[in-house]
Amino acid sequence: MGTPIIISVKRRAMDCEFELVLRGTDRQYLLDAGEEAFEELARLEEQMSVFIPTSEISDINANASNRPVRVDARLFDLLLMAKRVSAETSGAFDISVGPLARRWTAGDEDFSVPTSEEIRQLTSKVGMRHVRLDERDYTVEFDRPGVMLDLGAIGKGYAVRQMASLLRDRGIDAGLVSGGASTVYAIGHPPDDDAWTVGIRNPVEREKRLTTVKLGDQALSTSGGHERFAELDGIRYSHVIDPRTGRPADNLLIAGAVTPDPAESDALSTAFLALGVEETRRFCSTHANVGAVLVPRPAPGAELEIIRIGT
Ligand code: ADP
Ligand code: MG
């Protein structure tokens, strides 16, 4: 048995920086396991990115309005899960929100607020009811033209899940796997505590920490309208859309979700941003292993309020 060591390695993917913090005794072994995890990450990005024309998601988006498109079994499982989370959150989480999301974040100089009529038309292409997932042959089919899938709110968490599971298979029993500021998953616990302590960044004073959460074999994901947005006349339009209204979710500054599954926490943090405080409370009261950290948008000049539910 060597002396315990901790290594940290980073890799850019999915438009953010992934980091692995791994505890063990053999430095080279940890580095090799980390490299394998990053190779898995690269494979997942090639499969799931809407920005890569050869990805399976791009294949679905190009063809599923014309015919059933067969997809990899693990990707199919992820789509099934996304559909379930959509149903459980009354449609607040919806991977088919693309037509609306693109319109609201086409945030260059030309950005204009869409009219109600435009929103109504875009909304007719949004909703998991337009997406048929056939479990017999792993195919995806859309019931009309213009439907598209975008895993932007679940893909990083899914990658974190797959990387953590690979690292566990390599015998790593303590560490952190994170995908940017979006999702962090804690494997086991650090040497001197029964859980890892991770921070949530203050959305207003970005260098400061807002609060911390303790994680043991659990993930924390955070979503915030402040991460990416379009701006017009001093108003910021969040990149998270409430598919139920067709408009940006703007009641909360940040929503955090804690669950054992990083893909689920990623999806739920996005859902909570749209659901707001009361609906998130209701969701958590019926989902025993889900916790939330919510920060409502403060009145001008008021202090930030942090609402913790089961965390
Ligand atoms: P981050 O990328 O910062 O982790 P999220 O996990 O909240 O943020 O994902 C936001 C992305 O998900 C958006 O950029 C958009 O592509 C997509 N999206 C926006 N609104 C929704 C929604 N209601 N449900 C699912 N995906 C959404
Ligand atoms: Mg998310």
Sites in the chain below the pLDDT cut of 50: none
pLDDT in tens, 63-121: 999 999 999 999 999 999 999 999 999 999 999 999 999 999 876 677 889 999 999 99
Number of domains in the chain: 1
Q: Does 182 fall in a domain?
A: no
* Per-residue pLDDT at 183: 98
* Per-residue pLDDT at 226: 63
**CA separation for the pair 252, 247 (Å, rounded):** 14
* Per-residue pLDDT at 227: 56
Question: How remote is the CA of residue 21 from the centroid of ligand 1, in Å?
Answer: 26
Question: How remote is the CA of residue 124 from the centroid of ligand 2, in Å?
Answer: 23
Question: How remote is the CA of residue 270 from the centroid of ligand 1, in Å?
Answer: 6
**Token reading at 48:** 């799931």
Q: Does 32 fall in a domain?
A: no
Q: What is the pTM of this model?
A: 0.96
Which of 240, 254, 265, 280, when mutated, tests ligand 1's pocket best, judged by the most ligand atoms within 8 Å of its CB? 240
Question: How remote is the CA of residue 30 from the centroid of ligand 1, in Å?
Answer: 32
* Per-residue pLDDT at 134: 98
Q: Does 73 fall in a domain?
A: yes
Contact 280, 252 (CB under 8 A): no
* Per-residue pLDDT at 110: 76
- CATH assignment of the domain containing 114: 1.10.3980.10
Question: How remote is the CA of residue 260 from the centroid of ligand 2, in Å?
Answer: 15
| Cα diameter, the chain | 67
> Which ligand gives the minimal distance to the CA of 181?
1
Question: How remote is the CA of residue 221 from the centroid of ligand 2, in Å?
Answer: 7
Q: Does 89 fall in a domain?
A: yes
> Which ligand gives the minimal distance to the CA of 97?
1
Q: Does 105 fall in a domain?
A: yes
Q: Does 292 fall in a domain?
A: no
Looking at ligand 1, which residue's alpha carbon is closest to its atom 8?
223
Question: How remote is the CA of residue 207 from the centroid of ligand 2, in Å?
Answer: 22
Q: Which residues line ligand 1 (CB under 6 A)?
A: 93-95, 97, 101, 150, 152-153, 156, 182, 223, 227, 239-241, 243, 266, 269-270, 274
DSSP assignment string, 89-130:
TTTSS-TT-HHHHHHHH--STT--PPPHHHHHHHHTT-SGGG
Helices and strands per DSSP (H, E), number in the chain: 7, 17
Looking at ligand 1, which residue's alpha carbon is closest to its atom 16?
152
> Which ligand gives the minimal distance to the CA of 239?
1
| Strand spans (E) along 148-281 | 175-179, 183-187, 196-201, 209-215, 218-224, 229-232, 235-238, 241-242, 247-248, 252-259
Q: Does 164 fall in a domain?
A: no
* Per-residue pLDDT at 118: 96
Q: Does 49 fall in a domain?
A: no
Domain range for 92 is 56-142
Determine the atom of ligand 1 nearest the C-alpha atom of 15: 2
Helix 98-105 to helix 116-123 angle, to the nearest 10 degrees? 150
